[in-house]
Structure 1
Amino acid sequence: MAEVTDKRLILLITCMSAFITPFLSSSINIALVSIGKEFPGTDEIMLGWVVTAFLLSAAIFVVPFGRIADIFGRRKFFIAGLGVIVVSSFLCFISNSVPVLVASRAIEGFGAAMIFGTAMAILTAAYPAKERGKVLGINMAVTYTGLSLGPVLGGLITQYLGWRYIYGGIMVFALIITLLAYLLIKDEWRYPETEKFDLPGTALYTVMLFSLMYGLTEVPGAHGFALIALGLLIMIVFFWWELRNKNPILKVSVLRKNTVFMFSNLAALINYSATFAVSFLLSFYLQYIRGYDYQTAGIILIAAPIIQAVFSPLTGRLSDKVEPRVVASAGMGLCVLGLALFALLTPETPLILVIGGLAFIGLGFALFSSPNTSAIMGSVEKRDLGVASGMVSTMRLIGQVMSLGIAMLLFSLYMGRIELIPGPNPALMSSIQTAFIVFAVLCVLGLIASVMRGDLRKKEVPVPAAPQKH
């Protein structure tokens, strides 16, 4: 009975932590206008960095922290990450300028990386393989709940208390989780036999990812393309180094030999790249082209995350019984249908079709995400769960930045830097249609990657038995 209770406590605490980051991400988007008004003279690029600084920091550090946690203890790093969230949220709360807020958000991303790199690994290690899909589905449902409640609660908090209290609330919530984790989680899940930490690989990985992600935010400027080129060059050096290192930060050999792990991560990267900017694009469509007010547009857009939250636990359980490749690929196919439907949008498209497209994507992502994550976490040995957890988060974060980068690039190509006003705007409509065509094509490629991964069940069966014989 104690074992069941311990597992449930771990599920509760990791789910509470899973709520924080999506809530911070979706709620602060609502507050950007309020922040700009409080600090006059702040341009849209600087306000955009309030969001981007968090994503950049989290993506850069999540894989290194996953490996460090494998060596020194996942519990320690999970609790430390929650502590960083507490401190950084307080710094956001007392920020006296936008640059200070951006720096505080970067620290917040640093803490989020420590949580990303450990929470999923802790949850996966605590539950047997036959229950993995179910608990990961519950965890994903909480994530989507945070994503869904962010705009609603963030808007209410900003309107009645002010944007700072978004961070004040998260500070208190994270402090509660920190105390619960410290008092109730006893296991450390430490694998010191991984030995030396790969410092040169970490440095290459950090510069590579920063160059690629920062470059994407600066495209179509020349320096944006230069940074992307630098990032790709460093990527070649990074993979060369990792293949020759005995204790790599990222086991490239696993990527080469483990088709389930490799193609599942590739599918995740493509899926996030194709779907993350959907609400961003539709918010422009609904408000500027269709003329809906903020509240109406927000109510329409929460359709997808609500469906994700409702169906993720069910699809997680389904992947415990049915091969994850089948379930995840079906989900990717539904995402293709939803994106293709949005590619046909016009100013006169019936609202029911917009909601229908969101329903396709919401259900598709619910079918894809939990089984795909289960396939990734189930395809590696326990000693590598921290890195696998970090890879899941890295694919998500890079995909999110790539998705926004593609949307902003198309906006720049079709419209340039002009002020948007409500009403007919053929250039905006064309850029939105083109973006959805690009995303639909990307999702088809993701569907191919998902199908090509192979069966997890065939890989999982021999893994537990082999080490026990030695």
Structure 2
Amino acid sequence: MIKNSRYWKSIRDFLSINDSRSYALVLAALASFLTPFVGSSITIALPEMASQLSMNTFLLGWIPTAYLLVLTVLLVPLGRLSDIYGRKNIFRMGIILFTISSFLAGFSPTGEVVLVLRIIQGIGSAMIFANVNAIVVSVFPVMERGKALGIAITGAYIGLFLGPVLGGILTENLGWRSIFFFNVPLGILTVYAVSKLKEEWAEAAGEKFDIKGTLILAGCIIPLIIGLSQLPDLFGMILIMVGLIMGIIFYKFESAEPSPLFDLKLFKNRAFSFNSLATLISYTAGYPIIFLLSLYLQYALGFNPQSAGLILAVQSLFIAFFASYAGRLSDEKNPRTIAGVGMVLIALGTLFLSLITQETSIWVIVILLALIGVGFALFGTPNTNMVISSVKKEYYGVASASISTMRVMGQIMGMAMALLIMNLYIGTANIGPTNMDSFISSVKVSFILFAVMCAVALLFTWKGGSSLNLDKSD
């Protein structure tokens, strides 16, 4: 109890710092909250949006997809632009763009207008995401970065947790437009916070921005994302092949570019490359858990959507509660150890989920979700700390953007894998009593695969952490 009191006192003291660090934490927490909140809350509002704006299924599907696509394509280029022209400048432009587009989206007369404004929102989000962690790392010394990053990650998971809950409440009582309006005051607060930062960080100032590399990277990522969403169709496989070929071209081009969009020499840094791969694999394995359990709870156990949502929120709640504590631990101890323990918990929780049946107690599900939530909290902050701290200051923006890109790509890959396995077991048929056994088998196989992937991520975390040299005097 005494230790716990000391911990909360240290957090209060930490937040009471009256300088750039306080404002950096405010903007990190708010910005980290906004982007996942708007993504998850809009999903809840899609049916009402379609009804009011007479949107067809194709257009409706592109409302979340276009946002995600723009975000993924622009993260690394905007991270590089931030290193050249200033992280504070790009972040400030991003939050202003995000806030204005949110405000205008609330007045959208048609679905097409919503789509255009979602694309603009995606551009703003990319400018935000590419810089949040980089600004935190730039402001705080090495010995305090974990705690600061933990608070930022807590904001992200609170947004993820509140998105479906608050989004449902807003949509039910005030309509779908209220979700966009909800972002506006938070965006204004974030603009105020960033204006209070005293410094600008542009360690790569004067270097050339690689426009050709940006276009080639877009030609790689766009086919990959769309292709993964189309599996197992032949068209999806063709797009993936196109994306992989463009990836090879990107590698060749960037290797010869004097001022590359992404300095491939970073991958010679074992700490950066291994921990980045651990991020990618962890999100590939972890993101579909909620999707699969949502179907399982509703189809196999008979829960209604609201009850299922509250049960699934347990994971995000535990992540939000333990993330800042994990950050503090990563400042005091080897972050590799903390991240490794977290990945072990995720792997165990996922493996135990592979044993579920129609008779499994709901309390078993809740306990395993809590275990996985603690695991992600222990893994996320130290992993982010290790990736960004492994590179020179002039690459903080690119490293921060790389983490976000790995996360988004991992989410897309994980969903594609889960849907592919489900398709192999039950095809395109609706889930029901006649194919319930096949559906549960597909869920079990998915969880076994994801548990194995977590074990691989643990190996990369351990290898990457062993190559990291954190100078606490920085």
* Matched ranges for 1:262-277 at <5 A: 262-277=273-288
Q: In structure 1, what is the Cα distance between the partners aligned to 2:281 and 2:353?
A: 18
Residue 88 of structure 1 is matched in structure 2 by 101
TM-score for the superposition, normalised by structure 2: 0.92
Aligned equivalent of 2:7 = none
Give, in angstroms, the shift of residue 39 of structure 1. Answer: 4.2
Per-residue deviation at 1:90?
2.8
Matches within 5 A, 1:65-464: 65-182=78-195, 184-193=196-205, 195-256=207-268, 258-420=269-431, 425-455=436-466, 459-461=469-471
1:37 offset after TM fit, Å?
2.9
1:215–1:224 CA contact under 8 A, matched in 2: yes
Structure 1 residue 21: Cα displacement? 0.7
Q: Residue type of the partner of 1:34?
A: E
Name structure 2 gaps, 5 residues minimum.
Answer: 1-13
Letter in 2 for 1:22: P
Name the CA distance, whole Å, in 1 between partners of 2:431 and 2:17.
57
Q: C-alpha offsets along residues 67-99 of structure 1, whole Å, 9 cap, x if unaligned?
A: 101111111100110111112213432333434
* Higher mean displacement: 336-345 or 267-276: 336-345
Of the structure 1 ranges 31-40 and 117-126, higher mean CA displacement relative to structure 2 is found in 31-40
Which whole-Å CA distance do the structure 2 matches of 1:102 and 1:273 have between them? 27
Per the alignment, in what secondary structure is the counterpart of residue 450 of structure 2?
helix
Shift of 1:168: 1.2
Question: Per the alignment, do residues 65 and 105 of structure 1 end up closer, same or farther by CA in structure 2, a change over 3 Å counting?
Answer: same
Give the number of equivalent residue pairs.
460
Structure 1 stretches (4+) deviating beyond 6 angstroms?
none
Taking only the aligned residue pairs, the percentage that are identical comes to 38
Alignment of 1:37-76 (within 5 A): 37-40=51-54, 42-43=56-57, 46-76=59-89
* 1:378-402 deviation per Cα after TM superposition (whole angstroms, max 9, x unaligned): 1111111111110111111111111
Task: Quote the offset at 1:36 in angstroms.
Answer: 3.1
Distance 1:84 1:53 in 2: 16
Of 418-427 and 63-72, deviating more is: 418-427
Check conservation: 1:194, 1:247, Cα contact below 8 A: no
Q: Counterpart of 1:324 in structure 2: which amino acid?
A: P
Letter in 2 for 1:27: S
User: Aligned-pair RMSD on alpha carbons?
Assistant: 2.0
Q: 1:157 to 1:211 in 2, by over 3 A?
A: same
8 Å CA contact 1:323–1:456 kept in 2: the answer is: no
Counterpart selection for 1:27 from 24, 28, 41: 41
- In the TM superposition, residue 463 of structure 1 has moved relative to its aligned partner by 10
User: In 2, are the aligned partners of 1:287 and 1:422 still within 8 Å (CA)?
Assistant: no
Q: What is residue 11 of structure 2 aligned with on the other side?
A: none
Q: What SS class does the counterpart of residue 302 from structure 1 fall into?
A: helix
**Once the 2 structures are TM-superposed, how far is the Cα of residue 220 of structure 1 from its aligned partner?**
1.5
Cα deviation for residue 163 of structure 1 reads 1.2
**Cα distance 1:210–1:171, how it changes in 2: closer, same or farther (>3 A)?**
same
Q: In 2, are the aligned partners of 1:381 and 1:463 still within 8 Å (CA)?
A: no
CA distance in 1 between partners of 2:191 and 2:169 (Å): 26
Q: Which residue of 2 aligns with 1:467?
A: none
- Output the CA distance in 2 between the equivalents of 1:462 and 1:15: 24
One-letter amino acid of the structure 1 residue matched with residue 93 of structure 2: A
Contact 2:142 2:473 in 1 (8 A): no
Q: Distance in 1 between matches of 2:363 and 2:373?
A: 15
Range that drifts further, 93-102 or 73-82: 93-102
- Unaligned 5+ segments in structure 1 are 465-470
C-alpha displacement of 1:29:
2.1
CA displacement 1:312-341 (0-9 Å, x = unmatched): 111111111211111111111111111111
Distance 1:421 1:146 in 2: 32
Residue 244 of structure 1: how far off its partner (Å)? 1.7
Q: Contact 2:228 / 2:236 at 8 angstroms: preserved in 1?
A: yes
CA gap of 1:146–1:422, structure 2 versus 1, over 3 A, is farther
Q: Distance in 1 between matches of 2:427 and 2:48?
A: 25
Cα distance change, pair 325–255 in 1 and its aligned pair in 2 (3 A): same
Structure 1 position 373, deviation (Å): 0.3
TM-score of the two chains, using structure 1 as the length reference: 0.93
Counterpart-to-counterpart distance in 2, 1:199 and 1:410: 38
Matched-pair contact (CA < 8 Å) for 2:37–2:162? yes
Which amino acid counterpart does residue 225 of structure 2 have in structure 1?
M
Distance in structure 1 (CA, Å) of the matches to 2:55 and 2:152: 41
